[in-house]
Amino acid sequence: MQLRSRLPGGGTPKPNRWGVDSEYGVLRDVLVGPIDNFRWTPGNAVAQRTERVGLKFDLATAKKQYAEMLDVYRQAGVTTHILPTEEGLPYQIFARDSSVMTPWGAIVMQMQKPYRRGEIASVLRFYLEAGIPIYDIVSQGNVEGGDFMVLKPGVAVCGFSGERSIEPAVNQIKGWFEGEGWEFRGYAFDSHFLHLDVQMGMLAENLAVVCTEAVEEEFVTWLKSRGIRIIDVSYGDVMQMGTNVVALGGERVLVPSTNKKLAQACRAEGLTVYDPDVSMIAAGGGAVHCMCQALRRDPA
């Protein structure tokens, strides 16, 4: 297969099977990272806080929680694809970051941390072996999938802090999307928050969870101007992965069990909530959204 499906002038054809045009269309196939080589690595504020308060990592507990999360996908009728475990990649579990899915195929990203760069090779092999089109590969610096969201058909956003994701790489993706006729918003934020999905997440069509304490008021205004309603969560919730959610589509959402206020708010909106415990994994700096990459959703 071709290594790159993107047409330079835009008008790239959409694959028959793979791709997403939103964060909330019914999820059919998902890519999840492996658990076997996972361990906490103090490369972000959440993991550093975990060590500072004296919590201890237990792989057996993490594996049990991981299995509970996979069972949610099974209950929801989602086909789960798990990346093969590769030695020396302690954060390979967080499949969100090494690639992202678009309406035209996958974009292979570039990782900032040295201990994560090998994840690019493993995800590239996965796409090639699975026959999933690769839209393109970022070449203008590091950018990670936790910063990227297809908010709705025709509108995408990618955050950058100057660390995990940098502006030149975001602008490269922006140019690709604009060439396809999409609106693409780059959003600068404080590196303390690691990724955009630590500050916001899509719950359902035109409904997002956002920590308005964390994001700029102008960004909130922009989201609302695109017809997106907001459920607000506190900064304290953010530090426990309070916006790290996965919309399953069909008015269903995956919310970690620690996010009790958000789960209650989602139920009040009429959503069905799946709430597995992933606290042992989240203490390392990533929860359910970080662990997955949507491969196929129904068109929104």
CATH number of domain containing 234: 3.75.10.10
Whether the per-residue pLDDT at 56 is higher than 90: the answer is: no
Mean pLDDT of 168-172: 98
What percent of the chain stands above pLDDT 90? 87
Q: Provide the number of structural domains found in the chain.
A: 1
**What confidence tier does 192 reach under pLDDT thresholds 50, 70, 90?**
confident
| pLDDT value of residue 191 | 86
Whether the per-residue pLDDT at 42 is higher than 80: the answer is: no
How far apart CA 93 and CA 43 sit, in angstroms, is 15
| pLDDT value of residue 29 | 98
Mean pLDDT of 50-76: 89
Note the pLDDT tens digit of each residue in 211-265.
999 999 999 999 999 999 999 999 888 877 889 999 999 999 999 999 999 999 9
Residue 7 lies in a domain: no
Mean pLDDT of 270-279: 97
| pLDDT value of residue 49 | 65
| pLDDT value of residue 81 | 98
Mean pLDDT of 16-23: 97
Whether the per-residue pLDDT at 54 is higher than 70: the answer is: no
What percent of the chain stands above pLDDT 70? 95
Whether the per-residue pLDDT at 40 is higher than 90: the answer is: no
Residue 266 lies in a domain: yes
Of 48, 178, 160, nearest in space to 109 by CA: 160
Whether the per-residue pLDDT at 174 is higher than 70: the answer is: yes
| pLDDT value of residue 228 | 98
Neighbours of 154 (CB within 10 A): 17
Mean pLDDT of 255-284: 95
Mean pLDDT of 21-41: 96
How far apart CA 153 and CA 168 sit, in angstroms, is 24
Note the pLDDT tens digit of each residue in 149-162.
999 999 999 999 99
Residue 284 lies in a domain: yes
Residue 211 lies in a domain: yes
How far apart CA 148 and CA 57 sit, in angstroms, is 29
Q: With contact defined as beta carbons under 8 Å apart, do 106 and 127 qualify?
A: yes
Mean pLDDT of 108-136: 96
Residue 43 lies in a domain: yes
How far apart CA 68 and CA 66 sit, in angstroms, is 5
| pLDDT value of residue 280 | 94
Host domain of residue 173: 27-297
Residue 91 lies in a domain: yes
Residue 116 lies in a domain: yes
Distances in Å between the Cα of 245 and the Cα atoms of 76, 97, 175 are 15, 15, 28
Residue 58 lies in a domain: yes
How far apart CA 23 and CA 26 sit, in angstroms, is 9
| pLDDT value of residue 11 | 97
Residue 288 half-sphere exposure toward CB, CA atoms < 13 A = 30
Average pLDDT, the chain: 94
